[in-house]
Amino acid sequence: QVQLQESGPGLVKPSETLSLTCNVSGTSIDSHYWSWIRQAPGKGLEWLGYIYYSGTTNYNPSFKSRLTILVDTSKNQFSLNLRSVTAADTAVYYCARVATVSSLDYWGQGALITVSS
Amino acid sequence: QSVLTQPPSLSAAPGQKVTISCSGSTSNIGKNFVSWYQQVPGTAPKRLIYDNDKRPSGIPDRFSGSKSGTSATLGITGLQTGDEADYYCGTWDSSKTVAVFGGGTTLTVL
């Protein structure tokens, strides 16, 4: 079955870069689009962007200046780099498979990232 | 402030029916399909409904979805204590070119 698993550092210092990887299993990454979503503590879901296996991306304009999403088809994984983080970037970060632009069908379990010195 | 508007909370008794509304605009719900997600606290969201009214395999028919104009609705019948969760609607906004979500509705089954 399709499974996604986020991995990352857990704690990032202010002004540094948050890096996360999503490992995909049970399906080939070149069959769909893939997305990152985050959820601040006690808040709702916020879409960050998506990527296709070809490298085509679409970012939330709110993050476009400091967000990069990459794909590594040889490892069947994709990644997120969010630069110049602040405490407001503290959140659970989820990776998900894009079924359609309106629908995310498989989600990772989430990775809590805390931005603090 | 979320692009899609949901009631913050609802409560109902076991066995009852509840509906959760999701209000948007012509650039999002009015133009695109709507999905609904269930999130039990501490876990990842789970897709309940896609393409307005379709249920993925394994989702019981107690859950239903509908859309009219710029609003969508999630219906849950025969409420169970296990249905206590946060529910989110989501869609694509063609003007903003972003995926958007509602602020979430916390359902309490008491």
- Chain A within 8 Å of B44 (Cβ-Cβ)? yes
| Average pLDDT of the residues in A47-75 | 95
- Condensed to tens digits (0 to 9), the pLDDT of residues B59-109 reads 999 999 999 999 999 999 999 999 999 999 999 999 999 999 999 999 999
Give percent of chain A with pLDDT exceeding 90.
96
Give the integer Cα–Cα distance in Å for B5 and B11: 18
> Which chain B residues touch A58 with a CB distance below 8 Å?
97
Continuous segment of H or E residues that includes residue A54 = none
pLDDT at A101: 84
Mutation pick from A102, A104, A107 vs chain B, by most beta carbons of B within 10 Å, is A102
- Condensed to tens digits (0 to 9), the pLDDT of residues A63-110 reads 989 999 999 999 999 999 999 999 999 999 999 999 988 999 999 999
pLDDT at B69: 97
Min Cα distance A95 → chain B (Å) is 10
What contacts B42, CB < 8 A, 6 or more positions away? none
Min Cα distance B32 → chain A (Å) is 7
- Chain B within 8 Å of A46 (Cβ-Cβ)? yes
Please give the DSSP secondary-structure letter assigned to residue B78.
S
- Chain A within 8 Å of B102 (Cβ-Cβ)? yes
- Flag if A102 and B45 touch (Cβ within 8 Å): no
pLDDT for residue A31 is more than 90: no
Give the integer Cα–Cα distance in Å for B81 and B1: 29
Please give the DSSP secondary-structure letter assigned to residue B17.
-
- Chain B within 8 Å of A40 (Cβ-Cβ)? no
Q: What is the Cα A22 distance to its own chain's centre?
A: 7
pLDDT at A117: 94
> Which chain B residues touch A100 with a CB distance below 8 Å?
33, 50-51
- Flag if A45 and B45 touch (Cβ within 8 Å): yes
Residue A56's pLDDT band (boundaries 50, 70, 90)?
very high
pLDDT at B41: 92
Give the integer Cα–Cα distance in Å for A21 and A34: 12
Of chain B residues 79-98, which have a CB less than 8 A from chain A?
88, 90-92, 96-98
pLDDT at B48: 98
| Average pLDDT of the residues in B37-61 | 97
Q: Which residue from A24, A27, A33, A18 is spatially nearest to A6, judged by alpha carbons?
A: A24
pLDDT at B1: 81
Give the integer Cα–Cα distance in Å for A49 and A82: 11
> Which chain B residues touch A110 with a CB distance below 8 Å?
44
Mean pLDDT score of chain A: 96
